[in-house]
Amino acid sequence: MTTTRRGLLLGAAALPAAQSAAQNSNPPQGKTTPGQQTMIGVPFEGRETIRMGLIGAGGRGSSMIGEFLACENVRITAICDINEEHARKAADAVTKHGYPDPALYTKGDHDYENLVKRDDIDFVYCPVPWPVHTPAAIAAMEHGKHALVEVPVGLTIDDCWKLVNTSERTRKHCIMCENCCYGYNELLVLNMVRAGILGDLYHGEGAYLHDLRTVLHDNGEGTWRRKPHTERNGNFYPTHGLGPVANYMDIQRGDRFEYMVSMSSAHFGLEQYREKNVPKDSPEWNEKYVEGDMNTSLIRTALGRTIVVKHDVVNPRPYSRINMICGSKGLFEDYPPRIYIDGAAKEAYTTLDPWKDQFEHPFWRSQGKTAREIGSHGGMDFIMAYRLTEAMRKGLVPDMDVYDAAAWSAPGPLSEASVAKGSARMEFPDFTRGLWKNKRATM
């Protein structure tokens, strides 16, 4: 999610749309090496001080520096960005917190491969353009570091399998940086679901509905984030809406995504914005957009639940992730947050306020004041950083693992394949190799 000036490794790492769809219409099965074992339930090593390497010091990377340094015993020892100015500003932010000047790696697209070789890094945070997520995470794990990767973790099913296999072989965690799972409402509702307030779950909905037209046409993030709209047609960004719903439904912990279908609408948004706002001599007028403005996907789980996932970033609209979960006793829906419980007077929605004292999540009960003061995205970024580094310090099992990262990212390439085949059914790989049936705790 960083704003690097050249789209780090963008051309080399991206696959053409046709090749991507062909790969993902028949997902390969994961191959293991002798002795390879699952990473489910594997705790962090536990250490007093957590040392972080940062790959990507643009908008997202620089904004998270303060979040991590506000956590107990966290140090940033090295920073990589192909833009030296970005790297230097990020380093200055570290020293302003009173810590030593981190080492800088700014010598081209592959200098992150030198950063991950250092022996003073425990985990590598990768807020880089999407095509670099998989290679950066693999490089980190291959050199003995845990990887924290922005969303989505991979652009193809093959990427997802590579991350799973690398994590299992190296015994290092690959965690997707899905901050929305740590939102106040998401965690409060998760506690209510666990307590049975909504009954038996049968349906959920999530989305990324966000007017990003100005971002897509700027000279920073837009230089790489607009490119997929000229190459692919599907849901580019499924995890913000899908991750919380997956947690409600215990996906990979007693249920799994089984198959999905997807369709995309016609496209108007980017063309009309360009007509109004982009000078006629701009190279952007050479672009042809193929991504439908609204992608809608429908997932069915092994236990027969259904999930709707939507994506629209090119039209005027209020922000929403929908965040709906339906059960036999009631339902919750966000934007605005409202809940209905069977038997309520006048069959009307109410606010979450009456439920907060009983079901507010411990993360927010203990860290909410700090999160609201310094945390971006309503505080969820700090809660995410706090929880990850706490788990590393205390030697706990991470809340989310490489199997979650792979399963939540898979609707991206699977939606493209389904759209390309007339909304055909696409099977989800079982990244856990059957272990999804085992109940286990999360969050």
Which residues neighbour 412 within 8 Å (Cβ) at sequence distance 6 or greater? 152, 155, 234, 235, 236, 237, 238
Amino acid 35: pLDDT: 74
User: In a 10 Å sphere around its CB, with 0-12 CB exposed, 13-18 middle and 19+ buried, how is residue 320 labelled?
Assistant: middle
3-state SS, residue 425 = coil
The residue whose two tokens read 């909905």 is: 205
Distance of CA 142 to the CA centre of its chain: 22
Per-residue pLDDT in tens (0 to 9) along the chain, 443 residues? 333 333 333 333 333 343 343 344 334 466 777 778 999 999 999 999 999 999 999 999 999 999 999 999 999 999 999 999 999 999 999 999 999 999 999 999 999 999 999 999 999 999 999 999 999 999 999 999 999 999 999 999 999 999 999 999 999 999 999 999 999 999 999 999 999 999 999 999 999 999 999 999 988 888 899 999 999 999 999 999 999 999 999 999 999 999 999 999 999 999 999 999 999 999 999 999 999 999 999 999 999 999 999 999 999 999 999 999 999 999 999 999 999 999 987 889 999 999 999 999 999 999 999 999 998 999 999 999 999 999 999 999 999 999 999 999 999 999 999 999 999 999 999 999 999 999 998 78
Q: Please state, in angstroms and rounded to a whole number, the distance separating the CA atoms of residues 172 and 156.
A: 21
Instruction: Tokens for 29, please give them.
Output: 């099965």
Instruction: Tokens for 153, please give them.
Output: 């973790």
What domains can be seen in the chain, in order of their start residue?
A: 10-34+41-179 (3.40.50.720), 181-361+400-437 (3.30.360.10)
DSSP per-residue string spanning 224-270: HHSGGGGT--S-S--HHHHHHHHHHTTBTTTB-EEEEEEEE----HH
Of the candidates 437, 403, 410, 425, the one whose C-alpha atom is nearest the C-alpha of residue 174 is 403
Q: Please state, in angstroms and rounded to a whole number, the distance separating the CA atoms of residues 77 and 85.
A: 17
Instruction: Tokens for 41, please give them.
Output: 């339930």
Strand order in the sheet with 123-126: 103-105, 74-80, 50-55, 123-126, 146-149, 174-176
Amino acid 29: pLDDT: 60
Pairing of strands 324-327, 257-264: unpaired
Amino acid at 116: V
DSSP per-residue string spanning 271-320: HHHHHHHS-TTSGGGG----S-S-EEEEEEETTS-EEEEEEE-SS----B
